[in-house]
Structure 1
């Protein structure tokens, strides 16, 4: 083979490799939070199968994660509290299967913790006041229902706990991110948000009543 033919063959081979690299760069893929019709829940992001062990491998493992090999798994969420008087777990079961109240005592510290966790994990979609108008929903993600609807005001505490744990609709489950006591703290704070918008007049102090605006709905009365 002449040198010119050999050079031409090399150039053609390199061009083929470059095209293959571009095909790899432009391969079909799902972006984060992109829906997919392939799965029953409509989400392209899949939860790893039970028992999966994350591994840090490759030349960039040290710089990316600081370690090679098997990575330490977070502790399992586990039950929130011991079983109730009937032997039922307060942390398991499907949404709507049982109705039970928040088993943690309502304290200022619990509400403070619930507000902190709510602002981190819930407010981006549900909004700071629970109206379903968080920043993510404002940018096109399906808006969650307002906590101030009759349906959710009448929902049990266990309903909110199970939704946080298992997800609901397009909402991702948070069982591996929020510890059971913190889920109950969030539930307590959701109840506080609901009460802030729908407090009965007979439960308000004279000072609270004096601060109410005068509206046509209340006949010009506070």
Structure 2
């Protein structure tokens, strides 16, 4: 008789638990259940486009303070003008190590980004020229559109040109990181001697 009561009590308990689960699960059809970390879903930080009373202008999205630079950004304080080009020609020098690995990486980058116009040997005979576009000057024999021989271009002149572009050549600042530009310049100096 005692065993029979234990079975009835156990059965009643299981029915009560099952009924509780069924009733609580049917409460809200839109509910996803328990949240493990509610602060991931209901964050207290305002969205960038929401009004924010913490700032005088009431905007959440604020401009960075003057003079700040993003993490990983390298400044190039020479304007995209002829004066900036001439100043860079004198002041800007390649500071990365002249190693075989950097030279090889520069060659690879040059072949990927520059050879379609300048050609693999820097003679201005790339594939775009074969399709009717104007040829850029040869690195070893040509004349720069800004004056002087292409073989005499300095680190600063080439860096300025890669960063801002000139004539038909657009800027490659978004395609080549500053260190990659320096590696390309190493290889261009080799092409100037051919």
Q: Give the TM-score taking structure 2 as reference length.
A: 0.54
Q: Which runs of 5+ in 1 are unaligned?
A: 1-74, 80-88, 198-222
> How many angstroms apart in 2 are the aligned matches of 1:121 and 1:106?
21
For the pair 1:114 / 2:114, whether they are aligned, the reply is no
Bigger radius of gyration: 2
The one of 86, 89, 95 aligned to 1:96: 86
Q: Which residue does the alignment assign to 2:73?
A: 78
Q: How far apart, in 1, do the equivalents of 2:134 and 2:110 lie?
A: 19
Select 1:165's aligned residue among 163, 166, 189.
163
Stretches of structure 2 that go unaligned for 5 or more consecutive residues are 1-69, 79-83, 142-147
Aligned to 1:105: 97
Which structure 2 residues correspond to residues 1-222 of structure 1 after superposition, within 5 A? 78-79=73-74, 91-93=76-78, 94-98=84-88, 99=90, 100-149=92-141, 151-195=149-193, 197=194
TM-fit CA distance, 1:97: 2.0
Distance in 1 separating the partners of 2:189 and 2:98: 11
Distance 1:146 1:76, change over 3 A: farther
Tell me how many residue pairs correspond in the alignment.
112
Higher relative contact order (CA 8 A, sep 6+): 2
Give the Cα–Cα distance (whole angstroms) in 2 for the partners of residues 161 and 95 of structure 1: 9
